Amino acid sequence: AGECQTNPELVGKDVSRNNLSWTGAAGALVSNTEDIIHWVRTLFVEDNLLSAEEKEEMQQIVSLQTGEAIAQTTATDPYGFGLGIIQGYDERWGNYWFYQGETLGYRSFYVYFPCNQVIISALFNSSVDAQNNHARSLIQQVYGTLLEDDPALICQT
């Protein structure tokens, strides 16, 4: 088990009674996985929350490797940050959108695959360093299992 890089003094401590008001708007949110899925569905699938111009602006991404604007992520440049969203690329599944929010001791995560409109959301009661963050591999396993169970969801990349 590794230590949390940003707050090593909190490793092993119960932070469930901490007041998250110090995080401003991020701490003001109380949610669950169903709420997150509803938000992502409204934002991407139902497509009636933002105007076409606002959605286009939100999805303009900057490479996390170079800091330059890119049209979309690729195998050689797999992550691009937009306005509160990140586009990722996986050679097996193509482009997808995701985000992870974090406060002391808690993380929320979603991934949305536009090609089949699958949304996966997870909540974690932990705050970890990059070495101990297994959220990505967990989501990949869940998505891979879903595709095995329902091959009709497999997208052409």
pLDDT tens, position by position, 12-35: 778 777 777 777 776 666 778 999
Degrees, nearest 5: CA angle 22-80-118: 85
- Write down the pTM of the prediction: 0.83
- The pLDDT tens digits of the residues spanning 88-117 come to 999 988 999 999 887 777 788 899 999 999
- The pLDDT tens digits of the residues spanning 39-59 come to 999 999 998 899 999 999 999
> 64: pLDDT confidence band, cut at 50, 70 and 90?
very high
Sorted by where each starts, the structural domains of the chain and their CATH numbers stand as 21-149 (3.40.710.10)
Q: Cite the beta strand spans of the chain per DSSP E.
A: 61-63, 69-70, 79-81, 86-90, 94-103, 106-113, 118-124
β pairing state of 79-81 and 106-113: unpaired
- The pLDDT tens digits of the residues spanning 75-95 come to 999 999 999 999 999 998 899
Residues 6+ apart with CB under 8 A from 7: 104, 127
Which pLDDT does position 2 carry in this prediction?
A: 41
